[in-house]
Structure formats: structure tokens, C-alpha cells
Amino acid sequence: MVEVNSQAIPEVLILMGSASDWKHLRGAVEVLEGLGVSFEVHVSSAHRTPARTVDLVQTAEAGGCRVFICAAGMAAHLAGVVAAHTVRPVLGVPLPGGVLDGVDALLSTVQMPGGIPVATFAVGSAGARNAAFFAAQVIAGDRPEVGVALKDARRVGGEKIGVADREINTELRAGKDS
């Protein structure tokens, strides 16, 4: 079990624009838990609860939160608004949905005007997981044990590829022999 940094203010704050986004974010939470990174998750919208969103960000930053992960779909401006209120890294995760199924959110998130950066990840669950890994990579700069957990996670991922390769080739050989 990886030791989690148990400070009151989390190292990572995950914000999503709607409860309908949660299904895409579960994997990010699993990644952070597995790596021993502390986090907090909130539903808060840039347009439906703008004041609360700013309050969450400012409170987290004042308490020492290191990285913000912001996930939203459609005209996704959550990450940009959060980036306007903090100088800590903001990782944007565009989510699928709506008539353009995530392409709208991708462009909204990635096309920040110069000066207020949002590091933008892939659309959907893969992007959410990668944002969590990236947040852990930032935090590993100060917490070497998180770096060790990241290397372990990559080793396990590589081992799964090796197992899959052996299983497929065993199946192919069995097919030829029958």
C-alpha cells in the first residue's frame, strides 16, 4: 500500500462541471489512490456555480494544493476559468458528449489564448487517467516515494503487455496445431 500524504488540503483538486462527468473521472481517482497522492473531488461549474468554483480554487491554492485537474464537456471553459485564478498547473480534460462528442470540449480546453495556460489531455477517461499520472509526476518532484510508485505502475503496465503477448501467441500456436 502506497502511503498517502495526509494533509488537510489535498495535493490535487479535481473539479468536474457536472455530476454527469463523474463516470469519466473515476479512473483518475483510482490512479491517484494507487500512487499515494492526496486529492479532493468536487462538482463545480464555471457557469452554473462560478463563485463557488473560484472559492474552491483559491481555498485550495492558499492551503498548498499543487495541481488542479478540471474536466468538462461541451463549451468546456472550467479549466480556463480555474487557470485564471491560480498560478499552479491546471490540467484540462475535455469530456465526450453533446452533438460533437468531445471535439467541442477539446478545442475549448486546448485553445487558451497566450498567457493563461491549460495543459490539455486526451478526450475522456484516458485523458483523465493521464492527467492524474501527470499530476503525480509534478508532485514526485518533492515526494520521491510518488516517483517510485510511478515507476512501479509503469513496470506493472509493461508486464501486462508481456502477458497479453504470450497469451495471443499461445492461442495462435494452438490454432495451428489443431
Decide: is 74 part of the binding site for ligand RP5 (CB under 6 A).
Answer: yes
* Least gap, CB of 24 to ligand RP5 (angstroms): 8
- Per CB under 6 A, the segment of 67-75, 129-137, 145-153, 158-166 that binds ligand RP5 is 67-75
How many C-alpha atoms does 86 have within 13 Å on its Cβ side? 30
Per-residue x/- marks for ligand RP5, 2-41, CB under 6 A? ---------------xx-xx--------------------
When binding is defined by CB under 6 A, the residue of 73, 80, 94, 127 that contacts ligand RP5 is 73
Give just the sign of the alpha carbon dihedral 46, 15, 97, 117: positive
Distance CA 20, CA 116 (A): 27
Decide: is 97 part of the binding site for ligand RP5 (CB under 6 A).
Answer: yes
Question: Which residues on neighbouring strands pair with residue 69, listed in sequence order?
Answer: 14, 91
By CB atoms closer than 10 A (0-12, 13-18, 19+), residue 4 is middle
Distance CA 169, CA 167 (A): 6
* Least gap, CB of 164 to ligand RP5 (angstroms): 33
Q: How many helices (H) and strands (E) does the chain have?
A: 6, 5
Decide: is 95 part of the binding site for ligand RP5 (CB under 6 A).
Answer: yes
Decide: is 80 part of the binding site for ligand RP5 (CB under 6 A).
Answer: no
Decide: is 45 part of the binding site for ligand RP5 (CB under 6 A).
Answer: yes
Decide: is 50 part of the binding site for ligand RP5 (CB under 6 A).
Answer: no
Query: How many other β-carbons are positioned within 10 Å of the β-carbon of residue 63?
Result: 12
Number of amino acids touching ligand RP5 (CB under 6 A): 10
**Pick 21 or 61: Cβ nearer ligand RP5:** 21
Instruction: Identify whether the C-beta of residue 110 lies closer than 8 Å to the C-beta of residue 139.
Output: no
Interface residues with ligand RP5 (CB under 6 A)? Answer: 17-18, 20-21, 45, 72-74, 95, 97
